Structures are given as C-alpha cells and as structure tokens.
Structure 1
Amino acid sequence: MMKHVYSVGQVNKYIKNMFAQDFMLHHISIKGEVSNCKYHSSGHIYFTMKDADGTINAIMFAGSRREGLKFPMKEGDRVVVTGSVEVYERDGRYQIYARTIERDGEGNLYLKFEALKRELEEMGMFAEEYKQPIPKYAKTVGIVTAETGAAIQDIRNIAGRRNPYVQLILCPALVQGEGAAASIVHGIHALEQIGVDVIIVGRGGGSIEDLWAFNEEMVARAIFDCRIPVISAVGHQTDFTIADYVADLRAPTPSAAAELAVFDYRQAMQELLGMRQQMDKELQRKVTVARNHLEHQRMRLHYLSPQQRMNENRRRVAEYEEKLTGRMEELLREHRHRLALLAGTLESYSPVKKLSGGYAFVEDGNHQALRSIHQIRKKDIVQIHLLDGTLTAAVTEIQAAEGVKNE
C-alpha cells in the first residue's frame, strides 16, 4: 500500500485552509499580558501575548493603529486583542492579526462610553452652536480638580508665569472613584455661583477606569448647562472623555488649559503698546488729513471770497489805469511833437519873424495888404508895419522891378 507523502508547503497550506474555514478564528478576542513589544519603523507593532498557560505571537499593521489602538501599548500591559488567528504559511506558525487592542477590563466601559456619546450627540449636546466663546482677558479662573494632584500644580505654574494678576479659585473635587462625578458637578455649580470668568475641569492622565468620572452623564449635563464657559482638560492628549465633547473648549492637558484660559500679561502689554502706537499714528494721519482739508477749504474760500474778487478787480483796474495813463502820455508826447513841428512850420511863415528879419508889412489906405505895385499910385497914403511899430507914409515914387512892366 502506497503512503501519501506531503511537502512542508502543502501541509502548511492545508493547516492555513483549516484555520481559514474556522469562523470563530475570523473574529476572536484574546486577553493576556504584552511582552516583546516592538514598534517597527514601518508603523507595524510586533508583540507576544502570554498568560500562565501559554503564549501567542501577535501583529498590528500600521493601517489598523489609528482606529484600533487608543493608548501607547508597552511591556507588561494587560490587554484584550480582537482580530483573526491565521497561519503564516512560510514559517508554519500561527499568530493573531490585531484589529483593535484595549486594556483588559475596558471593553464594557468602552461600549458604555460609546452608547452615552451617541445618545448625547443625538441630543445636540456636542453641537458647535451651543459652544460659548472663551473670554480672551479673564480676571478670575475657576478650577475643578484634585487639591493635591499634578494638574493643579501645572495650572498654577503656567498661570503664574503668564499672568500673576489673574485670580485662581480652586474648588477641590474627587476626580476618580466613588462619588467623583457628584463632586465634580458640585464644583462646577459652586464656581458658577461665584461668577468666575471661565472654568477649567480636569485631571491628569490615567486608564479609562481612572477617567470614568468625566464620562458620567451628570458631569456632561453640568458642563452643558453651565452659564460660564468651560474648558475640559482630562488626561493626556490621546485621552478623550464625554466631558471633552460637551465642553466649550477641549485642552489636551491641564497645562494647555491654563494657557488657553489665562492671557499672557506681557504679550497683552505689547499688544496694547502696539495698538497705542497704531492709534497715535492713525490719529496723526487723520489730523494731517484734516489740516490739509482745512487749508484746501481756506484757499478755496480765499479764492472765492468777495474780498478776493474785489482785490482782483482792483488790480485789473489799476493795470487798465496804468495802461491808459501810459497810452495818454504816449499820445500826448506824439501830439506835442507834432505841435512842435507845426509850430516850427508856422513860425517859419510868421509875419513877425519876417519883420524881425528886416521885412515890413504894407497896407493901403483900405487896410489891404499890398502885394504888387499895381495896387497903389503916387501920393497914396500907405501904412508900413515894422517889428516894433507902424509908419504912415505917402507914395512919392513907384519903380517896377527889373523885367516887370510898370503900368
């Protein structure tokens, strides 16, 4: 009878198919302690789960980490891994491929958390329109946290460094364990009655059990109903609670909450100084613009005023007067020159001038000027006008000029 002989690869493939046909192994949850935990540069996590009875290799791929792992897993953590058990055919080893990893004991709490979160979200308690703005310059900051925890020390240190003039009012509260939720609600109500400007509600980091008080519905409702803006500061940056969703603002840590609630005094002074300088500059600019506008209006009024027009008309009249006077003087000079010429000409024809040259003006008895010897006869009486007087004479002889016929 022939034996059936199989290769190693065939056996590994057969076993892999057997695992693949087992429905329970497709979605299984295994709890145990983490050991040999290694974070690969690719983003994958390789680790081993163990308990008193055995070990199993496990791997979580980088693509599953964002939604499947909500805490920094490390050696010694007790966890519940949910995923599928499969055979790695090449090595013939089986391992669990993790889709989600939770701390042991968190499963039921996580389901409770998700149910309450879904309920409150449907009621609109997470809606942005209900969020109150955080005052920028708070004078009094109320704090609901443990009196001796690291959270209050961090808040005091940050607040003191940023602005020592802001008043911090602590309302001590239990932040975990029995009665913690009621204690937190009491602190919120007490600070609301005091009338602080903003309230910080929070604590340091811890497991989901440690932070559970901030997942209680009564705490969520107290924060939502509070008339004063509330900043939640629960745990570390990766920790999320119901209080974070319902608060007006979430801070990743108590220190960050202090920075959000307490304004930086020195920075505020610098901003005020800058605004003052800007206001002075703007005021100076407006004064300059107003002065220029006023000067423009003054010049315009000066240009359009009756006095200005009157002065302008006076200047024009003066110019016309000056031109007229100049023209008149010019005409007068011309006429004087012409008169002088005419006077010279007239003088050259003047009988007086003739007389002064030795000539005489002779008239007959009828006072008619004698221009010819034919106008007079012998013994006629004539008057001879000289320069300095008149002579009366009788004609004794008439003699014609050479070449002139004597009638």
Structure 2
Amino acid sequence: MSEERKIYSLTQLNQSFEKHIWEQFSKRDFWITAELIKINVKSGHHYIELADSVNNNTTARSFATIWASTYRTIVDEIGLKEAQGILQAGNKVLINVKIEFHTIYGLKLKIRAIDPAYSYGEIERKRQEVIKRLKKEELFDLQKQLRLPTIIKRIALIGSPNTSGYRDFQNELLVNHDFNKFVIKEFPVRVQGDMAVNEIVAALQEANLYDVDVIVILRGGGSKMDLALFDDYEISKAICLSKIPVMTGIGHESDEVVSDLVARVTFITPTAVARHIHYAISSFKEIMRELHDKTIQISQQLLAEHREEFLHYNNYLSHYSRELIHYWRSSFQENEYEILQKSRTLLYKAKDDMASLSHRTSSQLQRMVQQEGSQLDRTFERIVDLTQQKLERESAVNLNQVLNSVELFSQQIIERERLIFRNQEELLGLLNPLKILSSGYTISTIDNEDVKDRDIEVGDEMSTLASNYLIKSKVISKKEIQEHKE
C-alpha cells in the first residue's frame, strides 16, 4: 500500500516560509552589492528593482523598498544630493538590508542604509576604464591639439536651460561692461536621467555643423553621482572627436570628470567659463590699446631723434640743389646759343643746296620732256600707218566672211520658219471640226447655243450634228448625272 500524500495549501507554504525567515533572519541584517534596475517613488517611498550579474549575464533579481522614514534617515546621514545621485537606475550600490517575506507579496528586501563610498569607488573604477580606453584609441588628447581662438564671439551652448548654472552663464556673459555682443546657438539637453547621454552626444555632433568658435558644456554642480554622467564614454568620445574646441563648466571643485580631462579648456563653474570668455576680449582690447599707445610713443621718439638729421640733410640738399640749378642753367644757355648758331648755318647751307638742286632738276626734266615728246610723235605716226595698213588688209577678208555668214544665217531662218508653218498646219488639221465628227463625236445645240452653256428644259428642240447627218430632236425628259471624283 502506497504512502499517503501530504497536501499543503499555498497559504500554508508561504506561512511556513514567513515563519522560517522570521526565525532565521528577523534579527539579522546584511550588506549586499547590487545594481539598481528600476526605481519608482510614491508618497516618499522608494520601490526598487535590484539585479546582479556576472560577465553581463543576470544571476539574481529581487525587489527592495526604502520607506519614507528610512529615506529621511539616509538623507540625514549622506546628504540629499548624494542620496538622489546614488539612487539612479544603472548605479551599483552597497546597501544594508533586512530580509522579509509576506504571504501575499513574497520575498522583499527592506533597505536600511546606503554606503556611498562603494558607489564612489565604482564610479572611479568606471572612470579609469573610460580614460584607459580613450587613450588606447588615441582619442584622449585630440582636443588639446585644437587652437582655442583668442576672441570668442560665436558660442554653441549645451546644457539644461532650467538650471541655475545655465542662467548664471548667460547673465555673466551678456551683462558685463567688457563685451556683450555674443552670438549664442543653444542646444537644450537633459543633464541627468536615462536620456541625458544620448541628448548630449547628439547636441555635440549637431553643434559641429555650425560656424561657431567654441562649444560650451554646462552642468552647474551636483553630487558625485550626478556628475558621474560626464564620465560616460560616449560623451567623452564625442568631445574628443569634436572639430571645434570644447569648454566645460560642469560645476565642481574636487575631482575632474572625464569630460573635463578631454576638453580643450575646463572651468570649475559655468560663471567661470563666461568670465573667461569676456575677460579674454577685455584683455585683448587692453593689449591692443597698450600696443597702440606704445606705437604712437615710439613713433614720436623716432621722429624727434631723426628731426635734426632731417633738417641737416634738408639744408644740405637745398643748398646743393640751388648750385646744381645755377650750373645747369648756365650750361643750357651756352649750349642753346651754340645750337642756334649752328642751326642757322646748316639751314642757310641746306637752302643753297636745295636751290641748286632744284635748278638742275628743272633743266633735266625739260630736256627729258622734249626727248619723250619727239619719241611719242614718231611712235604715234608709225602706229597710225600700221593701223591703216592692217585695216585695209582685213577689210577684204572680213567682207567675204560676212557675206557667207549672212547667207548661212538666212537659210537657217527660212528652214526654221518652214518647220513652224508645217507644225501649225498639222495642228489646224487636228482641230478641224469635220475630222472630230468623223471620229464619232457629235455637237448638240439648242437655239444655236451649246447644250453645255445653257440650262436644258423639257420641250426644248435640240439639233445634233454628226459627220454625215443633222438630227433634230425634242427633249421629253432630263436626268442630271453626278460627276465622278476620284
């Protein structure tokens, strides 16, 4: 016979667990490490989901609670900002818990205390890993290689507009006596929470598309856990890869976050960033003013030092110039008289030469004209004689040729006219009405008018002429025939 089964209800089972846990664990507490997965706050109570993992594989999961009274005690011990900073999803924490079991709600951990030192140590460990990774990827020092402009006027501003640090930066930058005509392109982002990393990275990438002098990232203080956001690898990498110098004013006085380490310039507060920017302009203006004054002073000294030397050379040049002018004036006058005399002599000589040449030329031309005239007369007489002889010879020959040509031309004309006459005679024969009628055609008329040229009425007498007959007929009916059109 089989052993009888012992059956328990779920309530009995859970009550047994509850009793066992109470007896074994009610008087004990435990320090455990875990990662915060999800946190919900309601009426001051914190409802938390915890998890643990090995090699990124989840190995345990549980639920925990911080009652409102316990949370106030924790805040008194470590501070409000620290408590808020630690109790963020994704942080690893060292917490003191008591184990409780409820028959309806199951196993829960009641958090009694938080050790911030563990979380800070975890933050430092992650920070060192990020620094090591950036150096290995040769990104860590890229910003330091960029030139920071001496004068900064165009600014890409990344931060949360609702924070006091953001407002302090703008007040310091825009309300000062040095310079306030800045152009600010704002990129509003969250600086805490799950979306903060993606928003800041996207803002850095977008800011690089604008024509700005620097990119300024602001936070404005917070707990170590709050500032741990700026130890994130993606944010730090985006700063390193920026082609525009990045300035940070995250707002802390002790340890630097990774974003500070990789940025081109870092400052303790947002106000310090703004002050540096407008102080740089003020300093530059002052330096330029000093250089301007110094330039004028040196110029005046140099002018004074060289004034005497200039006056000496001026007097010397004036005296020497007057002597040169006097010398060259005398030389020019002497040369002018000599040139004038020589020119007159040359002109007189040239005039005599031209007169003599003109006389000789005129005589030679007269002789040449007389010689050519006689030659032309002789040539003309000879041409006349030759022409008359040639005309006499050619007249006899040409007359016979002309007669022959006239006779031949006359015969051609007569033959052509005879041919035309024959063609017309044949055409008249073809057009003879009698020949047309003999071919079978007839001519019909009414009152001596061709039937084609008048309207035909019933009763009209029509005459039809054939080749051998004249036929008389009377119209008794008529029918119109439509002309066929192709």
**TM-score, normalising length: structure 2:** 0.40
Flag the structure with higher helix content.
2
**TM-score, normalising length: structure 1:** 0.47
